[in-house]
Amino acid sequence: MFRSRMATFGVAALVLTACGGGNTAAPQKKTELTLYNDKGAWTKFFDEMGALSKQSIGLGMKPTGYTDSAQYQAFIKASFRTNVKPDLFTWQTGGMLEEIVKQKQVADTTAVWQEAIKAGDLLQDLAPYYTIGGKQYCVPMNVAYWGMFYNKKIFDKYGLKPPQTWDDLIKAADTLKQNGVKAFYHTSVLFSFVWFEQLMAGTDPDLYDRLSTGKAKYTDPGVVQVMEKWKQLIDAGYFINPGDKTDPGDVLKNGKAAMVSFGTWFNTSMTQRDMKPGTDYDFFVIPNVNASLPKTSMIFESGPLCSLTKAADPDASMKYLKWWTTAEAQEKWASSRGDVSANPKVTIKDEALGAVTKDAGSGKYRLVNRYFEATPPAILTAALDGFSKFVTEPGTYKEVLDTIQKSADEYWSTHQ
């Protein structure tokens, strides 16, 4: 069959001396692993982890960071066909993980999970995101809970408190509006999905789940209502202009908007700007739109750290994944970035985030998989475009839903 190796032909002929591709020797024993990731900005933190692991389990690690996750994913997929195999790599949960597990590429981590759950290093609640066909794959590289970061000084100035109900939230937005302050941040680039998933999850989380598996349509009345609700909020003037290109960290810091919804990793943006939790800013869980839901829905994001069945040294890779879940590793990983951890034993320095993690661990929330991971790439691409159009021209919501559904129809017609 025609193979991707076509070009090899050329390159190999060009460099006759280059030793050909026969690096398929017996498994080596590795003392340093490479960790491919699409979080190029975290290189410093990965390096620190590498130094720590070398110390404690005698296994070093060097990161290879990418900056564009789409390109990164293409690269990892292509690497399966070559002899350049990452020892460890970051990935996405949801369909993306399922896809590469189906290819029998990803090493089974069921044993690691069982042990970690028994030792209290991982929560049973997390397992479903990592379970495919009854087995676990990869371990959580990071976790993040989504909620609302708010400018504490603005809240204090207008006597506002973190809202307990959706009505409270809207009341707060109204108070801000009367005082000429924009309540919410949103954008038309990349994170255009944030308010959609939040409103969906807070209105009908089951519908949200069905939507991401192709069992519901974007044109269903429930989805249309959510878009109408979103449009109402925009029309009411609560949002800043989506064409505002200010970094969201600066939006919140300078009070351009009083509230910014992001995952807990946004905390890094705050600390990098010398913002003090509790005095300059704080965090609350966004209340459900539909007050009758039994649990508050919380958007949840987790990025897996995986290894391959055909890794150069599968044992070393597995050993590393196991170490990664331990409290020692996670303490370092969370504290260096000022973020939360998948390990419930880790104490989170930031009070508000610590509380959220603890509550989430005790089952207080209904965790909803982030739209980015929950939606297959082809539909996601159309949806991100659609939502970015919608935030710019809210009147187009019906057309936007039709367009997204069109690509959903096309996708689901060839997948299952």
Quick one: 288 or 375, whose CB is closer to another protein?
A: 375
| Tokens 């996750």 sit on residue | 69
The stretch among 127-135, 188-196, 198-206, 210-218 that binds another protein (CB under 8 A) is 188-196
Distance from C-alpha of 403 to C-alpha of 187, rounded to nearest angstrom: 20
Tokens encoding 144: 């993040």
| Tokens 């009505």 sit on residue | 167
358 close to 154: Cβ distance less than 8 angstroms: no
* Nearest distance in Å: CB 364, another protein: 26
The stretch among 112-120, 161-169, 202-210, 393-401 that binds another protein (CB under 8 A) is 393-401
Instruction: Indicate the burial class of 80 (C-beta count within 10 angstroms; 0-12, 13-18, 19 or more).
Output: middle
* Nearest distance in Å: CB 336, another protein: 10
**By the rule CB under 8 A, 185 interacts with another protein:** no
* Nearest distance in Å: CB 306, another protein: 14
27 close to 313: Cβ distance less than 8 angstroms: yes
**By the rule CB under 8 A, 98 interacts with another protein:** no
* Nearest distance in Å: CB 380, another protein: 8
Closest by CA position to 162, among listed 362, 352, 361: 352
For the segment 26-45, give every residue that binds another protein (CB under 8 A): 34, 36, 39-44
**By the rule CB under 8 A, 296 interacts with another protein:** no
**By the rule CB under 8 A, 165 interacts with another protein:** no
**By the rule CB under 8 A, 354 interacts with another protein:** no
Quick one: 34 or 296, whose CB is closer to another protein?
A: 34
For another protein, the binding residue among 203, 212, 264, 269 (CB under 8 A) is 269
Closest by CA position to 196, among listed 344, 404, 56: 404
* Nearest distance in Å: CB 146, another protein: 13
- Running DSSP on this structure, what letter comes out for residue 409? H
**By the rule CB under 8 A, 119 interacts with another protein:** no
* Total interface residues for another protein by CB under 8 A: 95
For the segment 47-66, give every residue that binds another protein (CB under 8 A): 47-48, 62, 64-66
**By the rule CB under 8 A, 412 interacts with another protein:** no
Distance from C-alpha of 79 to C-alpha of 102, rounded to nearest angstrom: 16
Tokens encoding 153: 């000084």
For another protein, the binding residue among 10, 133, 221, 294 (CB under 8 A) is 10
401 close to 386: Cβ distance less than 8 angstroms: yes
The stretch among 159-167, 169-177, 247-255, 350-358 that binds another protein (CB under 8 A) is 247-255
Quick one: 91 or 113, whose CB is closer to another protein?
A: 91
**By the rule CB under 8 A, 159 interacts with another protein:** no
As a whole number of Å, the CA-based R_g of the chain is 23
Distance from C-alpha of 14 to C-alpha of 17, rounded to nearest angstrom: 9
**By the rule CB under 8 A, 291 interacts with another protein:** no
The Cβ-side half-sphere exposure at 135, using a 13 Å CA radius, reads: 13
Distance from C-alpha of 51 to C-alpha of 340, rounded to nearest angstrom: 21
